[in-house]
Amino acid sequence: MKNRLMCHLVAGYPSGELSFSVCEALAEAGAAYLEIQFPFSDPASDGPDIQNACTRSLAAGFSVKEGFGLVERCAARFPAVPVFIMTYGSLVVRPGVEAFLLKAKNAGASGLIVPDLPWDYDEGLYAAGEKTGISVAPVLVPGTSEDRIRRILGLRPAFLYAALRTGITGSRTELGPENLAFLDKLKGEKTKILAGFGISSKEQVDALMPHAEAAVAGSHFVRIIAKHGEAGAARLKAKLADAVKALL
Amino acid sequence: MQAVKEPRGGFFGPYGGRYVAEVLRWPLDRLEEAFKDIAGCPDFQAEFTRLLTDYVGRPTPLVFAQNATRILDGAQIYIKLEGLANTGAHKINNALGQGLLAKRMGKKRIIAETGAGQHGVAVAAVCAKLGLRCRVYMGEVDMLRQKPNVFWMQQYGAEVVPVLAGAKTLKDAVNEAFRDWATYPEETFYILGSALGPSPYPDMVRQFQSVIGKEVQARLAQQGLSPSVLVACAGGGSNAIGFFSPFIAAALPRLVAVEAGGRGKGRGNNAVRMSGEGLTGVVQGYKSKFLLDEDGQVLPTYSVSAGLDYPGIGPQLAALGESGRIEFTSAMDSEALEALKFFAKNEGILFALESAHAGAAAIRLAPGLPKDAVLVVNMSGRGDKDLFITARELDRENWKSFLKEEIQRI
């Protein structure tokens, strides 16, 4: 069975133009989905690697407009690779959830992940997602109660994001019977599971494949960009392509 | 699509809520249960009250500021000396309440954020007293400007962890505390210091701080007085909401909250949310008024007082500000420093820089009020912690030469 990856990147990192090169590298190397994070000043769910990437991008003047521009370029260049936007509630609530979703739609995004707008404190996001045809993916974690899981699956989301452990992004996750059983518990009839947090090896992706639509890797690529971001587009793209292929 | 949504608690009008990543949801749900549980628990309340008396030093005095009243020639000015509480500010009321709750929940590990360091110092002291392990997150910038408080926290046995992310100030320390809690939710209790963040924190902090207002109410009643105006500074707003709490339901007294006017108008020069350019947003787990840019990014803030240097405001204060029950105003750095000098010289009372903003507003308000009006200003903290800032601002040359000599002596 072929491994499927959702590859994450931070818009505007390592620079506005190079973040499109990052998209190209990830998609050309075989990413099944792209997750483009719009940097927020206070990324409370992220570990140090993604935090630093966001800080850098914001310091270089990242704007949400620029983020949608990147989504548009990626979606146009790789029509077969659905693009999800990941960001925090503040950026979605400021223009209004529907306005944000319409811009996402116009840019060609397929989905949206906003960890701090859970379904019961969503400012109307889920309803607006249905209206605009953007798939709002709820986030679930191993500690989520049975009752909440049932309610969230009751929303019949097209996708959901399963965090494989508690904590924040970045540090390595040990995969075992427990977190795989957690994924199986989430399998709805039509809901596709995106499983992530601490994914950086082929063994992890292999283990996840029978249980999920795609494995999500993020900090892993951000670390590669941090290391090779200054080396020029060609070298950066080559390094990222190697990293993607190593997981497939 | 429409799953049945349960009635959502923790809202004050449009503000408040529990806008957190799923990973923090069950820890907050459990915290809420435990908090509800103590309301009907006489043992908890008895121990809390006993420690507030014996350890915190309550009730704190309410003093008639005779000289200030004479000079300003208006309302009768009273000062609630909350800064006389152990560790120097009102912060310990809440730190103690949450510390006892943590113990009751069987948590062994305490984390906290701190900006100026007053909440951190209070939490560190309470943890020493209650025998709990303590880790305090503090922005690197704040650690540098509030070195004495870092030192005291360490003397109380706390581990002070510098936060290097973002602006390296209070809001970043809050983010880091949430990250820690999300990583170790089972064993950890997060003692949040202000009346903000996801529910149930705004309710919990208000309740533990309401002792300030209740004491003022009782002490004035003993003297046959009732207040006309209450004045408090508002960063996140824990002293203000605790001070105002018993008076909110009635139409009077006037409740005045004072934000940090900093250097003046313009982005990055102040921390004025309510009486300035605050926008509705969802940040750090709650919906309220924040200083945000067009995209929703949190803007930098500035104030001479680190405790008011925060881009958001507690959701209940925001709601009461919009409904008109609480009046918001601001005081600039320079006005706060003048107020500090005024009350030191005329009353022998040293305000913390945060509380001096309330003092400044009181100085502005008093002359316009009738002579029989009673104005109470909350001195939420005392000013000795600010020595390095106040001395630099008010007596720069002497202070510089003292520090040089001190280095020679060391």
The partner residues of B190 in beta bridges, in order of sequence, read: B111
Place of tokens 């940090």: B260
B281, A123: Cβ pair inside 8 Å?
A: no
Domains of chain A by range and CATH?
5-247 (3.20.20.70)
A196 has pLDDT over 50: yes
Q: For residue A1, name the pLDDT band (cuts at 50, 70, 90).
A: low
Q: Which CATH number fits domain B57-88+210-394: 3.40.50.1100, 2.60.120.10, 3.30.9.10, 3.40.50.300?
A: 3.40.50.1100
The CATH class that applies to domain B11-53+90-201 reads alpha beta
CA B138 to chain centre: 16
pLDDT band at B9 (very low <50, low <70, confident <90, very high): confident
The residue-averaged pLDDT of A126-141 equals 96
Round to whole Å and give the CA distance between B54 and B143.
30
Inter-chain contact B282–A168, Cβ cutoff 8 Å?
no
Q: Are B334 and B357 in contact (CB under 8 A)?
A: no
Between positions 148 and 177 of A, the ones with CB within 8 A of B are 148, 151-152, 154-156, 163, 166-168
Note the pLDDT of residue B6: 46
Contacts of B165 in chain A (CB under 8 A): 48, 51-52, 55
Interface check for A119 against chain B (CB to CB < 8 A): the answer is yes
Cα–Cα distance between B390 and B309 in angstroms, integer?
Answer: 16
Q: Do A48 and B175 touch (CB under 8 A)?
A: no
Distance CA B118, CA B352 (A): 10
Per-residue model confidence (pLDDT) at position B87: 97
Farthest CA pair distance, chain A: 50
Contact assessment for residue B78 and residue B343, using Cβ atoms and an 8 Å cutoff:
no
Cis amide bond preceding B59, omega within 30: yes
Using a pLDDT cut of 90, give the percent of chain B over it: 92
C-alpha count within 13 angstroms, C-beta hemisphere, residue B99? 27
Average pLDDT over residues B369-381: 98
Cα separation of A207 and A223, whole Å?
23
**For A124-186, what is the HEC assignment?**
CHHHHHHHHCCEECCEECCCCCHHHHHHHHHCCCCEEEEECCCCCCCCCCCCCHHHHHHHHHH
Measured distance CA(B333)–CA(A172) in Å, rounded: 46
pLDDT in tens, A93-121: 999 999 999 999 999 999 999 999 999 99
Return the pLDDT at A104: 98
List, in sequence order, every residue forming a beta bridge with A101; answer none if it has no partner.
none
Is B380 annotated in the active site? yes
- Indicate if B57-88+210-394 has the same CATH topology as B11-53+90-201: yes
Peptide linkage before B253 cis (omega within 30 of 0):
yes
Residue B228: burial class (beta carbons within 10 Å; 0-12, 13-18, 19+): middle
To the nearest 10°, the Cα dihedral for A127, A131, A136, A138?
Answer: 30
pTM exceeds 0.90, yes or no: yes
With an 8 Å Cβ cutoff, is B18 touching chain A? yes
Place of tokens 């500010």: B89
Residue B274: pLDDT above 60? Answer: yes
| Whether B396 contacts chain A with CB within 8 A | no
The residue-averaged pLDDT of A130-151 equals: 94
Q: How many helices (H) and strands (E) are present in chain A, helices listed first?
A: 11, 9
Question: Do residues B175 and A43 make contact, with C-beta atoms less than 8 angstroms apart?
Answer: yes
Beta strand spans in chain A (E): 5-10, 33-37, 83-86, 111-113, 135-136, 139-140, 159-163, 192-196, 214-217
3-class secondary-structure state, position A201 = coil
Question: Which sequence spans correspond to the domains of chain B?
Answer: 11-53+90-201, 57-88+210-394
Q: Which residue of B has its CA nearest to A146?
A: B26
A120 is catalytic: no
Quick one: what percent of chain B has pLDDT higher than 70? 98
pLDDT value of position B313: 98
Nearest CB among A55, A119, A166 relative to B166 is that of A55
The confidence band for B40, taking pLDDT boundaries of 50, 70 and 90, is confident
Sheet of A5-10, strands arranged across:
A135-136, A111-113, A83-86, A33-37, A5-10, A214-217, A192-196, A159-163, A139-140
Judged by CB atoms closer than 8 Å, whether chains meet at B18 and A154 is answered as no
- Separation in Å, CA of B294 to nearest CA in chain A: 7
Least Cα separation, residue A177 to chain B (angstroms): 20
Angle subtended at Cα A47 by Cα A44 and Cα A48, rounded to the nearest 5 degrees: 115
**Coil, helix or strand for A100?**
helix
Alpha-carbon gap, residue B92 to A227, rounded angstroms = 45
Segment B133-160, tens digit of pLDDT: 999 999 999 998 889 999 999 999 999 9
Q: Could you tell me if B56 and B86 are in contact, meaning their C-beta atoms sit under 8 angstroms apart? A: yes
Q: What is the dihedral of CA B23, B308, B75, B242, to 10 degrees?
A: 20
d(CA B141, CA B163): 9
The dihedral region occupied by B398, where left means phi > 0, alpha psi between -120 and 50, and beta the remainder, is alpha
Question: Residues B316-328, buried b or exposed e (16+ Cβ, 10 A)?
Answer: bbbbbbbeebbbb
Hey, are the CB atoms on B282 and A117 less than 8 Å from each other?
yes
Q: Is B407 an 8 Å CB contact of chain A?
A: no
Could you say which of B25, B174, B295 has the minimum Cβ distance to residue A118? Answer: B25
Q: What is the pLDDT of residue B7?
A: 46
B376: β partners: B78, B230
**Cα–Cα distance for residue pair B138/B286, rounded to 1 Å:** 21
| A108 secondary structure, DSSP code | T
One-letter amino acid of A94: R
Query: Do residues B161 and B176 make contact, with C-beta atoms less than 8 angstroms apart?
Result: yes
Q: Cβ contacts (< 8 Å) between A197 and chain B: which residues? A: none
Residues of B in contact with A155 (CB under 8 A): 1, 3
